[in-house]
Amino acid sequence: MRFALWFFGAVLAAQSPKVLIIGDSISIGYTPPLTKLLAGKAVVTHNPGNAAHSSNGVAKLEEWLGKESWAVIHFNFGLHDLRRMDDGKHQLLVEQYELNLDRIATKLTKSGAKVTYATTTPVPDGKLSPPRVPGDDVKYNDAALRVMKKHGIPVVDLYGFVKPQQAKLLAKPNVHFEPAGYEALAQQVAAEIEKHLKQ
């Protein structure tokens, strides 16, 4: 009986559409609840480890895509790009970030998958480690939105969703989230992904 149930589950998993999540620790945090929300509808996979900044994404994208046939690819970069280094400069200038996102978006839209993007979640006030400055999130999101508009990629506005309720959802003082925050993010992402699974 156990073998039959396992075999039936394996067959369903093999036939289910595959969803790839590419992103940093924020996406790592909402992937477990997202996987539960999409159970029976899709098999959800996150890129190995932390996708970090967009230059890392450019370098590793082919590896992450592999040979799978992805139904939906949902991605984000930003919090690592806008972090401040010891000299006070961003890890990646917004111009380089925009160029990298354009290169990534170009490859993803040619993959045959439906592609969605999530805006970078808010940077709160306070002493953060590594350092990040409120307001940079808006500048980098503006750059990302230009790229997504160019490529016709739908956007899940996690920034706009979190901003009015960040005191409740964010861990303090941190760019990361409380468990309930990750659950809320997963619901936003799942709703967008389900639209594309139904198409």
Cβ burial of 127 (10 Å; 0-12, 13-18, 19+) is exposed
Q: Max Cα separation, the chain? A: 62
Residue identified by tokens 């940093």 is: 24
DSSP 10: H
Helix/strand number for the chain, H first, E second = 8, 5
Distance CA 71, CA 88 (A): 40
pTM above 0.95, yes or no: no
DSSP state of 126: S
* pLDDT average per 10 residues of sequence, the chain (199 residues): 49 76 98 98 98 98 97 98 96 98 98 97 93 97 98 98 96 93 98 93
Residue type, position 17, single letter: P
Question: Which residue segments constitute the domains of the chain, with CATH numbers given?
Answer: 2-198 (3.40.50.1110)
Please compute, for residue 31, the number of CA atoms within 13 A of its CA located in the half-sphere on the CB side.
23
Compute CA distances 66 → 27, 45, 56, 69, 133, whole Å: 19, 12, 16, 9, 35
Determine the pLDDT at residue 197.
95
Name the residue with tokens 């480690």: 129
Q: Are 70 and 111 in contact (CB under 8 A)?
A: yes
